[in-house]
């Protein structure tokens, strides 16, 4: 019986990894990407809906009850309500077939990765460690192509020349690889799952590749993750990283506010464009413009601010993106969901007696905190077309599993 149970979870594990790697391919420069862009939501549902149907527990569904004492889930359901209300009631005139598919994909992703896949990895330490190993292996492959970009010019032309862009469409996308991989490799070192020499070699490679993506948002994400992981381990290291983080963060914010360079001017104009269209009416402030119509409105409006970048169709800030698509009433409960998840996770961390579980929870919180900071200057944590959203939901889901375990003493899985 145990072997059958384990094989069942390994089957799920493989299906969802196929989905994640297809999403990674989606943002590369490899052949066939343009075709994937045209069918992305169809392919999402083609992979994930059969997975959901196969694993859906109809008995538990009909016994479903909303627990108002479970704050993270309460805020998540509140987010879902306003998300659907904004999309299908307020902005129903902008619901195209593609928009409808994208709305469904959001819900499917949360069920598949936050609710389902996280439970699989939470229950099995072996699968969790394999999941982390795959992140490290993928980051090593990405690093190889990044070295090819720097030293041999692979996919490195124009404004991306000399960056460690690797096989992605933008070095900022490459930086997200290390936002996951660097905290993971530190976790492996702290749990003695990697020897010292290999750890330092891999860490140096990852840090080199991250630095030459020239993504300060990536630097901030990694520093915040390391800051959280090292808080209770080394006060000196904590202070040093804090000072570095403050210097980078203050210089970046000052540059954005003063609009000193071409990049900060472009980014500042995107922020101003988003704020302008959000605050144009009370309805758009509260409910946004709709999942796809918001992008159309944003692209038109940015031209009036003097920004003519044809490849940019969003404000590069996850908060502003949610606002222009769904409005304040969707944004607020979603932020409450995330922060109640993190704060409750941090609180439960103190009560965990097993060191391995404590390290596991710390890693998940550290990665999510780093990604939240990074996405104050990016947006792909809430864009279902990109793999970052799916992988982030996994780590958030594992945090939630620890919260449930803390409340019930043992996790209840159907």
389, 382 Cβ separation under 8 angstroms = yes
List, for residues 298-331, the tens digit of each pLDDT value.
Answer: 988 887 766 656 567 889 899 999 999 999 999 9
Torsions phi, psi of 168, nearest 5?
Answer: -90, 170
List, for residues 115-145, the tens digit of each pLDDT value.
Answer: 999 998 999 899 899 999 999 999 999 999 9
List, for residues 267-305, the tens digit of each pLDDT value.
Answer: 778 888 899 999 999 999 999 999 999 999 998 888 776
Q: What is the dihedral of CA 25, 137, 169, 381, to 10 degrees?
A: 80
Residue 67 corresponds to which tokens in the numbers above?
């627990």
Owner of token pair 């019986």:
1
pTM for this entry: 0.91
- Dihedral sign (CA 304, 307, 310, 314): negative
Domain assignments of the chain as residue spans, ordered by start: 2-258+327-408
Shortest CA distance to 406 belongs to which of 337, 352, 338, 343? Answer: 352
- Identify the pLDDT of residue 58: 60
Name every residue whose Cβ is closer than 8 Å to that of residue 72 and which is 6 or more positions away in sequence: 337, 340, 341, 344, 400, 403
- Find the angle CA(302)-CA(306)-CA(307) to the nearest 5 degrees: 55
| Cα–Cα separations (whole angstroms), residue 126 to 123, 187, 350 | 9, 15, 24
pLDDT at 219 over 50: yes
Q: Is 384 helix (H, G, I), strand (E, B) or coil?
A: coil
| Cα–Cα separations (whole angstroms), residue 45 to 53, 106, 398 | 11, 10, 23
Torsions phi, psi of 329, nearest 5?
Answer: -70, -20
- Find the angle CA(236)-CA(237)-CA(240) to the nearest 5 degrees: 90
Q: What is the mean pLDDT of the chain?
A: 86
- Identify the pLDDT of residue 398: 96
Average pLDDT over residues 74-83: 96
- Neighbouring CB atoms inside 10 A of 176's CB total 27
């Amino acid at each position: 019986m145990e072997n059958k149970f384990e094989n069942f979870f390994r089957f799920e594990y493989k299906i969802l990894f196929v989905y994640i790697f297809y999403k990674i391919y989606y943002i590369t420069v490899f052949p066939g990407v343009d075709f994937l862009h045209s069918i992305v939501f169809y392919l999402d549902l083609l992979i994930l809906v059969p997975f959901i149907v196969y694993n859906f527990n109809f008995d538990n569904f009909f016994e479903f009850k909303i627990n108002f004492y479970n704050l993270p889930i309460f805020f998540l359901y509140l987010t879902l309500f306003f998300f659907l209300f904004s999309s299908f009631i307020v902005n129903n005139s902008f619901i195209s077939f593609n928009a409808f598919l994208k709305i469904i994909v959001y819900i499917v992703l949360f069920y598949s990765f936050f609710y389902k896949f996280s439970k699989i990895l939470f229950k099995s330490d072996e699968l969790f460690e394999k999941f982390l190993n795959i992140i490290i292996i993928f980051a090593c492959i990405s690093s190889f192509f990044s070295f090819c970009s720097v030293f041999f010019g692979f996919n490195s032309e124009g404004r991306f020349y000399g960056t460690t862009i690797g096989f992605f469409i933008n070095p900022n996308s490459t930086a997200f690889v290390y936002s996951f991989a660097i905290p993971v490799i530190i976790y492996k070192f702290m749990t003695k799952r990697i020897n010292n020499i290999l750890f330092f070699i891999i860490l140096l490679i990852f840090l080199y590749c991250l630095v030459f993506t020239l993504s300060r948002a990536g630097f901030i994400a990694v520093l915040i993750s390391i800051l959280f992981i090292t808080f209770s381990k080394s006060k000196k290291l904590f202070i040093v990283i804090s000072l570095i983080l403050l210097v980078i963060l203050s210089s970046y914010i000052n540059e954005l506010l003063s609009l000193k360079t071409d990049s900060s001017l472009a980014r500042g104009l995107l922020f101003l464009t988003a704020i302008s269209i959000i605050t144009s009416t009370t309805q758009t402030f509260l409910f946004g413009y709709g999942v796809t119509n918001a992008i159309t409105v944003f692209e038109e409006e940015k031209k009036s601010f003097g920004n003519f970048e044809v490849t940019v169709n969003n404000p590069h800030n996850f908060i502003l993106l949610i606002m222009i698509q769904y409005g304040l009433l969707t944004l607020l409960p979603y932020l409450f969901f995330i922060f109640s998840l993190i704060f409750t996770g941090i609180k439960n961390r103190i009560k965990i007696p097993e060191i391995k579980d404590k390290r596991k929870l710390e890693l998940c919180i550290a990665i999510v905190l780093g990604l939240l900071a990074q996405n104050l200057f990016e947006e792909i944590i809430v864009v279902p077309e990109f793999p970052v959203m799916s992988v982030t939901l996994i780590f958030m889901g594992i945090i939630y599993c620890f919260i449930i375990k803390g409340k019930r003493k043992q996790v209840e899985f159907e």
